[in-house]
C-alpha cells in the first residue's frame, strides 16, 4: 500500500512520542516494548485488524483523522484491539495483555 503524507506524518509523530522508530516497511508501523500501533487512513481502517493479528501485547489502531476514530470505534468496539487518536491518546484500551 502506498503511504500517504498524513499516514507518514502521524506515524513519525507517534514514534517520536513513544521513543521508537517508525517502521516504513511491511509489518506493523510502530512497535514499543509494551504495545503495537498500526496507523491507518479512514478508508482502510478495516485493514488494521489483519496487520495486528498475532501480537501478544496491547495493540492499537491510530486513524489519521477524527472521522477515522469514530469508524475505528465502530469497527473494533467489541474486539481486543484498542483505538487511539491522532495525538496518541488512548480512546479505547486494548484488551490484550
Q: Find the Cα–Cα–Cα–Cα dihedral 33, 41, 12, 55, rounded to 10°.
A: 10
pLDDT tens for 58-95 read 999 999 999 999 999 999 999 999 999 999 999 999 99
Average pLDDT over residues 44-59: 94
The contacts of residue 16 (CB under 8 Å, 6+ apart) are none
Report the pLDDT value the prediction gives residue 3, as an integer from 0 to 100. 65
Over the stretch 2-46, which tens digit does the pLDDT of each residue have?
A: 568 999 999 999 999 999 999 998 889 999 999 999 999 999 999
Amino acid at each position: 500500500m502506498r503511504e500517504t503524507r498524513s499516514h507518514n506524518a502521524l506515524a513519525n509523530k507517534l514514534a517520536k512520542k513513544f521513543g521508537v522508530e517508525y517502521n516504513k516497511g511491511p509489518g506493523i508501523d510502530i512497535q514499543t516494548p509494551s504495545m503495537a500501533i498500526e496507523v491507518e487512513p479512514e478508508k482502510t481502517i478495516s485493514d488494521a485488524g489483519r496487520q495486528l493479528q498475532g501480537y501478544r501485547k496491547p495493540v492499537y489502531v491510530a486513524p489519521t483523522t477524527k472521522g477515522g476514530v469514530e469508524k475505528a470505534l465502530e469497527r473494533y468496539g467489541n474486539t481486543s484491539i484498542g483505538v487511539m487518536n491522532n495525538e496518541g491518546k488512548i480512546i479505547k484500551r486494548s484488551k490484550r495483555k
